[in-house]
């Protein structure tokens, strides 16, 4: 159980440009928001045997309200920016955990269901051409499976599979989006997987370093196709991501080389925006725009970590 007190403040300043009809006009908007809430979880587990356990979890979540990160158009008109409401989530999870007698094989799985009232989703207001946060009700149903296996002491293999069906179940009144009941929640893939291999090899002492070990990890992630924006105007394609790390580890210090997105995959992260066309007669291109955030390409680096 946790109780939280939130205090937020919002300050906006708008000054009309020199070429604006209201040149020199300055508007401000200052607001505060206070909230307090309790969250927590209740879990029950039962050991079917020495190696198998089943469990159930109920959790209550809460996200306080606020303002969209980027200022809308209200301050330019001398109006207060509206706040979006707090979101409340109820979730249930049923799962199991298994480990063999030697501890080399571990399997866990879970099925879950969650409902969120007044979830915070970012949409695009095609009238004012600004992004805005609105309160939608959403629902998620899914399952996860995780397996780890150590065929020998030096190697550890692990894999995970996740299925998530996240949908919008209620549209707010006077929504500025084209969303419909049953649309997918943006940036939520139906399928995703993770596969990794870790190798640890004890090394002889060298350069005054005692009990060093060579530690390396390779991880592959797959993220399936997902809708980009509220309203399902376009999809973000599936992608594969390969990361690796190799280094020397001691009881107090790790020195390693790392590589992120080794395949130099071009993919998008988060959600996106769909902007309807502006006719050429009004200075536009006459074409719809689809915007998203590209991920960082291949990156290599050196890291040092010391334990005090």
The predicted-structure confidence for 233-286, as pLDDT tens digits, reads as follows: 889 999 999 999 999 988 888 999 999 999 999 888 877 777 666 666 655 566
CATH number belonging to the domain at 39-306, selected among 2.40.170.20, 3.40.50.1860, 3.50.50.60, 1.10.580.10: 2.40.170.20
Confidence at residue 188, expressed as pLDDT on a 0 to 100 scale:
94
Q: Which of 95-99, 228-232, 256-260, 271-275 is the least confident region?
A: 271-275
Convert 41-59 to b/e letters by CB count within 10 Å (16 or more is b). Answer: eeeeeeeeeeeebebebeb
Domain parsing of the chain, residue ranges: 39-306
Q: Is 262 exposed, middle or buried (0-12, 13-18, 19+ CB in 10 A)?
A: middle
Convert 9-39 to b/e letters by CB count within 10 Å (16 or more is b). Answer: ebebebeeeeeeeeeeeebebeeeeeeebee
Confidence at residue 123, expressed as pLDDT on a 0 to 100 scale:
82
Q: What is the dihedral of CA 293, 242, 259, 153, to 10 degrees?
A: 140
The pair of three-digit structure tokens given for residue 87, joined into one six-digit string: 């979101």
pLDDT in tens, 30-82: 999 999 999 999 999 999 999 999 999 999 999 999 988 665 677 888 888 88
Q: Which residue has the tokens 């979830």?
A: 119
pLDDT in tens, 150-195: 999 899 999 999 999 999 999 999 888 888 999 999 999 999 999 9
Mean predicted confidence (pLDDT) in 72-101: 90
Mean predicted confidence (pLDDT) in 197-203: 93
Kindly give, in sequence order, each residue whose CB lies less than 8 Å from that of residue 207, ignoring residues fewer than 6 positions away: none
Confidence at residue 269, expressed as pLDDT on a 0 to 100 scale:
82
Q: Which residues are registered as beta bridge partners of 146?
A: 108, 160
pLDDT in tens, 100-156: 999 899 999 999 999 999 999 988 776 666 778 899 999 999 999 999 999 998 999
- The answer on pLDDT for 90 being more than 70 is yes
Q: Which residue has the tokens 């029950």?
A: 44
Kindly give, in sequence order, each residue whose CB lies less than 8 Å from that of residue 298, ignoring residues fewer than 6 positions away: 259, 260, 261, 262, 263, 264
Q: What is the spatial distance between Cα 79 and Cα 77, in angstroms, rounded to a whole number?
A: 5
């Amino acid at each position: 159980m946790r109780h939280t007190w939130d205090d937020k403040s919002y300050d906006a300043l708008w000054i009309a440009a020199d070429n604006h009809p209201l040149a020199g006009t300055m508007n401000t908007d200052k607001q505060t928001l206070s909230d307090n809430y309790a969250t927590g979880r209740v879990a029950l587990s039962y050991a079917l045997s020495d190696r198998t356990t089943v469990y159930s979890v109920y959790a209550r979540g809460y996200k306080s309200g606020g303002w969209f990160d980027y200022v809308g158009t209200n301050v330019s008109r001398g109006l207060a920016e509206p706040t979006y409401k707090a979101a409340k989530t109820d979730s249930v999870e049923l799962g199991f955990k298994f480990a063999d007698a030697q501890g080399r094989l571990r399997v866990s799985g879970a099925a879950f269901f969650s409902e969120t009232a007044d979830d915070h989703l970012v949409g695009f207001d095609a009238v004012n051409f600004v992004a805005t946060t609105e309160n939608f009700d959403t629902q998620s149903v899914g399952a996860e499976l995780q397996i780890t296996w150590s065929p020998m002491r030096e190697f550890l293999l692990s894999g995970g599979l996740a299925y998530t069906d996240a949908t919008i179940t209620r549209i707010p009144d006077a929504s500025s989006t084209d969303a419909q009941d049953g649309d997918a929640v943006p940036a939520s893939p139906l399928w995703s997987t993770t596969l990794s291999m870790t190798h640890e090899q004890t090394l002889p002492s060298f350069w005054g370093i005692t009990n060093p070990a060579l530690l390396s990890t390779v991880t592959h992630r797959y993220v399936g196709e997902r809708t980009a924006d509220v309203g399902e105007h376009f999809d973000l394609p599936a992608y594969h991501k390969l990361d690796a790390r190799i280094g020397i580890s001691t009881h107090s210090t790790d020195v390693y080389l790392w590589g992120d997105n080794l395949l130099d995959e071009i993919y998008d992260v988060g959600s996106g925006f769909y902007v309807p066309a502006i006719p050429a007669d009004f200075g536009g291109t006459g074409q719809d725009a689809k915007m998203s955030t590209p991920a960082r390409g291949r990156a290599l680096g050196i890291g040092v970590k010391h334990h005090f």
